[in-house]
Amino acid sequence: MTDSTACLPEQLAAQWNIGIAQVQLHVGDRLDDEQRFERADLLAAMRAGQEVSTSPPDPGAFFWAYQDAMSRGATAIVSIHLSGRMSATVEAAREAAQQVRIPVHVLDSGTTGMSLGFAVLSAARAAAAGAHPRRVIDAAEYRFRTSTELLYVDTLEYLKRSGRIGSAQAMLGSALALKPLLTVREGEVAPLSRVPGRRRALNKLVDLATQEARGKPVDVALVRFGDDERVLELAEQLRQRMPQVRETMTLEASTIIGAHVGPGALGITVSPAG
């Protein structure tokens, strides 16, 4: 079990029997599961300056998801979620877990995006192979402990509005031409550097991803929010510069993540192969 910030495509989640709790999105006076919002509508609302915010799933959503898993024969559940410093989602999962008759192991990944997604996939693959819950937990923990999130944003304004800016607050007030590069550290958004211009910043993002791989086998995800004409070019650069890559994914960001990072954001996840 995970939440929708893991950015896992529905088909992949279904293949590995992964339940996904939907984080809630507020756009204007509308509140609903994030999967019920059209990405284009959210982008248009954000660009128009409409109020956008997010809320964790209700504990009841977790409870019924856990009950459903139990009714289908589950004897234990591993429920892995985005950083508790970014959202109360993990607390909602823990509240629901106390009401279920089988063991539910709730993990705070300390991260989000495909660092969470790769951890969930590793856990699901271990479970499918018949691993004991402790081994499933170990597989997830290895991934979210060793994975790296690298993020480009056009502006810090959306992170500031959402209250998710973390220690990147120190970058506010820099020249508009300097584009922020960020990471996730100790459960919150943290600054990496400022680079003049979008093209240079994205090239720097690829440089950082290549350095992070350290020539070792890794899985890589390229995640975007909004149209980006360079995404295929960047994916090819990553493949050429990291020939040791085991799996490469090019994905759309969760709309919840998009609501915090803003249009034009692009992230790279580097995850050592377990």
Q: What is the 3-state secondary structure (H, E, C) of 200-255?
A: HHHHHHHHHHHHHHCCCCEEEEEEECCCCCCHHHHHHHHHHHCCCEEEEEEEECCH
Strand partners, 224: 252, 266
Please state the rounded mean pLDDT for residues 184-201: 90
pLDDT value at 211 more than 50: yes
pTM exceeding 0.75: yes
pLDDT value at 247 more than 90: no
Please state the rounded mean pLDDT for residues 155-170: 64
* DSSP β-ladder status, 2-3 and 20-21: parallel
pLDDT value at 67 more than 80: yes
Task: Give the pLDDT of residue 176.
Answer: 59
pLDDT value at 162 more than 60: no
